[in-house]
Amino acid sequence: MFDHSHYVPILKGRSGELDALAKTELRLTKDFTPLLEIPPIPPLYVEGKDDPIPAKSIDQHITDVAKAFADTLKALPALFVDALYIETADSLQSGASPVDAIFAAFRKANLKFIPTVGLDRVEDYTDSVKAAIEQDRRGCCLRLWESDLESIAELSDQIQSLLSALALTPATVDLLLDFGPNVPMKAALPFMIDALPSVTQWRTLTLASSAFPADMTQVGRNKIDEIERGDWIAWLSLRNKQKSIKRMPTFGDYAINHPVISEVDFRMMKMSPNIRYTGGINFVIAKGQAQPRKKEADTPEKEEKRAKLSPSVQYPKLAAMIMEHSSWKGAPFSWGDKFIEKCARKECAGSSSDWRAVGTCHHVALVVQQLSTLP
């Protein structure tokens, strides 16, 4: 059981996020327990078709995800795993459930995973979680959405029904209140916490939401903008009232992500290089400018402009902007900070996946530090 000085980052299972966890200092791993979502099968956009097709089979997807998780997460003492994006996927060629298959693969890789369930999951998914509970004896994580909290009277009966089906009690369940992109109102939070069924009995209790924007359109080009970390501020407000509530929850967020996955058709949208860096109460975002496509550079002048807007040219400039900001923690702070300094010296540029790893690694280290230094 962990207390409210612990941290629960909710991550989408992308390669950059997995790399960030692998590169996080080992001494910090005891202070956070990530919730990893099994990503959906990526889409493949084909010329001549408006709608994407699956980029791979469910069998290949399970194999790829299991290998990526096993290669990067072995050092973690525990992690929550939520397979909500594949709960209705077709069975594997062997006839196995994809959820059973991913759990089996993690078990074979010796990952200390705790399965995550919700009140809205299909029956087969709940059966897979129950089987994992019986085999691994680690209990489960119960993830409640904001909509689940609309009727507390009904919520109590729904939870009891689910726990009975899983043969669990609150003492073996980690309860996660996930508000997604809707940061809860500070004034209402104490009442929500106190109204939770069996609030003092859960193995752990976590409050999570995300103030990170859905896209970078609100951030100006070729500059740094700041966006308030409303999720962190709301949790701090609740912490200031902890003596008057029945139980203080652990802090959770979505790191440097928006909670809702948005698939981008890169045939239609050009992305601007950006660096996401977390400050004390703000997200600090340095954003560049989208590079024109090669086929658009049909004159020497346009080709020259395209070369100047290459990500390998822009990222060192953006890294230098981050280092000049008051939130800069210094290269020794984390692997991500070291990468920023190297990039500013033009020793590397990095891909978009690398920069997701950089921002996530710094964010996890910062939140762990913030929680450990609170009075």
- The residues spanned by each domain of the chain are 7-372
Is residue 286 classed as helix, strand or coil in its secondary structure? strand
pLDDT score recorded for residue 264: 61
pLDDT score recorded for residue 269: 60
The model carries a pTM of: 0.95
**Angle between the 98-108 and 123-136 helix axes, to the nearest 10 degrees?**
20
Q: How many residues does the chain have?
A: 375
- The residues of the chain scoring below 50 in pLDDT are none
pLDDT score recorded for residue 262: 73
CA angle 40, 46, 50 (to 5 degrees): 85
pLDDT score recorded for residue 151: 83
143-152 residues labelled b (16+ CB within 10 A) or e (exposed): bbbeebeeee
The region that residue 91 occupies, defined by phi over 0 for left and psi between -120 and 50 for alpha, beta otherwise, is beta
* Nearest-angstrom CA–CA distance, 144 and 64: 28
CB 28 within 8 A of CB 364: yes
pLDDT score recorded for residue 153: 81
Domain at 7-372, CATH class: alpha beta
pLDDT score recorded for residue 142: 98
Query: What would you report as the CA-atom Rg of the chain, rounded to the nearest whole angstrom?
Result: 22
